[in-house]
Structures are given as structure tokens and as C-alpha cells.
Amino acid sequence: MRFALDICAYLVGIPLEVLILAAMLRGSYRRYPALFVYMAAVFVASLVETSLYITGYLDATWYRDRRVWTQYLKCYWIDEGIMLALEFVVSFSLIRQATEGASSRRMMRALVVCSAVLVYAITFRAHYDPMAATGLWMNAWTRDLNFYYAILDVGLWAMLIGSRARDSRLLLFSGALGILFTGAAISGSISDLAVARRSRALTLTGGVVNMLSNLAFLYIWWQALRVRQAASRQS
């Protein structure tokens, strides 16, 4: 069941990633370079992870050979670490745009960077365990970071709503990121509970939450880029 769910997520997610990249290549990448780099990284990671996931799952199921599956898990958690760093870069780039005209923009940006460094260091120190499986402490660490990103995104959303010159595209970008971060944090919490209770149902639930939040994020970003392009063509 989980394998079929993941394949469906890849079949829907990868085309959406292609659509977003194609839309940004028409000009949006100049205004949002951090978002473009992030989406390019997501696309490459999806291709690599999909091939390793399918091969590893089939080998482990049919031939009881878990070597490729182990490679997939290593690749997955490396990608997660890279994506977490890029997600902060994306969030910070949107915050920079949202605070462009603010008199206290330097102080606000400095506070964001300092808080990120503290959260990264504290949560890593709290969860890192060299004696435990990488997935156990990495899941807890990424869960906490996604929760922090969600809080950061709420602040960004509040700034955009309170701005006199509202940018609808930035609002959509920010809202989609909020869905992504919140879904990832909830999924991580459910996964921790699933491990503690050894529940396959909870594991599947966490996977569904993560899949839906990812697909919703991709779809909203695509719509944000597509709608603006359609409006510019009409004008």
C-alpha cells in the first residue's frame, strides 16, 4: 500500500515540478533565483530518489537484497538535509522581498538569520545520536526544523497581509510553503508516534499527510506562476 502511494506521489509530483520549472524559465527565475534553484534541486532529487526507491523496494521484496534500499535511505536523508538548507534560503529570500521597503529591514533580517542558527544548533544537539539509526534522529530534527519554518512563514504571511502594496504571487508562494512546512512537521510527528507504537496504520497516515502537503505546495506554486503569465499575455 505504501509503495503504491509513493509511486502515485512521484507520478503526480514530478510533472508538477517540470511545469513549475518550465514556467519559471519563461522569466520568473530572474526575479526569484532562490526559488528556481530550490525547484531544480527538488526535481533532481525526485529523479534520483525515484529510481533508487523503486529498484531498492523491488530488490528487497523479491530478492531479499537490501543494498540498494540502504543506498536509497542514505540518499534520502542527504537530500533532506540539502532541502532543509535550501528551504531556509527560499524563506529568507521571500522575507527580503517582503521587507524591501521597511525601515527596520536590516534588523529583521538579522533576527531571522540569528534565530535560524540557534534553532539549527539547538535542535541538532538535542536529537543527534550517533548510536541510533540515522532515520530516527534525522526525522525528529527535520520535524522540529519544519515547525520552525512554519512559524517563520506565519511571520512572512503577516507582513505580506499588512503591506499596503500586496503582492499576490508572494502571498501564494508563502501560503504554499506554509502548507509544505506544516505538513512535514505533522508527518514527522506521526512517524515518531508510529515508530513508538509500531503501527503501520500511523506510518501510512504520516505518508499520506506528507504526500498531500507536498502536492498541494507544488500545485499552488504552479498556479501562482501560470496565472501571472496568463494575465501578462492578456495585457
What DSSP string runs through 26-85?
IIIHHH-HHHHHHHHHHHHHHHHHHHHHHHHHHIIIII---HHHHHHHHHHHHHHHHHHH
Q: What is the pLDDT of residue 234?
A: 45
Q: Which carries the bigger pLDDT value, residue 23 or residue 168?
A: 23
Q: What is the mean pLDDT of the segment spanning 72-93? A: 94
Q: What is the mean pLDDT of the chain?
A: 90
pLDDT at residue 229, rounded to an integer: 54
* Residue tagged 531479499 (cell numbers): 64
pLDDT band per the 50, 70, 90 thresholds, residue 101:
confident
**Is residue 103 pLDDT above 80, yes or no?**
no
Report the amino acid identity of residue 101.
Answer: G
Q: How distant is the alpha carbon of residue 62 from its chain centre?
A: 32
| Residue 162 backbone dihedrals phi, psi, to 5 degrees | -80, -10
Backbone dihedral angles phi then psi of residue 100, each to the nearest 5 degrees: -55, -40
User: Is the confidence at residue 232, as pLDDT, over 60?
Assistant: no
Domain that holds residue 166: 2-234
Band of pLDDT at residue 1, cut at 50, 70 and 90? confident
Report pLDDT for 228: 56
Instruction: Tell me if 15 sits within 8 A of 219, measured CB to CB.
Output: no
Q: What is the pLDDT of residue 168?
A: 86
pLDDT band at residue 210, thresholds of 50, 70 and 90? very high
Spatial separation of the C-alpha atoms in residues 21 and 44, rounded to whole Å? 12
Cell of 161: 497581509
Print burial letters for 101-140: b (CB count within 10 Å at least 16), e (below 16). eeeeeeebeeebeeebeebbeebeeebeeeeeeeeebbbb
Q: What does the buried/exposed string (b/e) look like for 163-189 if buried means 16 or more CB atoms within 10 Å of the residue's CB? A: beeeeeebbbbbbbbbbbbbbbbbbbb
Q: What is the arithmetic mean of pLDDT over 65-77?
A: 90
Residue 71 has pLDDT above 60, yes or no: yes
- Lowest mean pLDDT of 4-18, 103-117, 149-163, 220-234, name the range: 220-234
Query: What CATH number has the domain bearing residue 226?
Result: 1.20.1070
Dist. CA 112–CA 92, nearest whole Å: 8
pLDDT of 37 higher than 90: yes
Enter the pTM of the model. Answer: 0.91
First to last CA, the chain: 48
Total of domains in the chain: 1
Q: Are 26 and 229 in contact (CB under 8 A)?
A: yes
- For residue 110, pLDDT over 70 is answered with yes
Dihedral over alpha carbons 107, 113, 118, 120 (to 10 degrees) = 160
Q: What percent of the chain has pLDDT over 70?
A: 96
C-alpha distances in Å from residue 230, one per residue of 170, 218, 225, 235: 17, 18, 9, 9
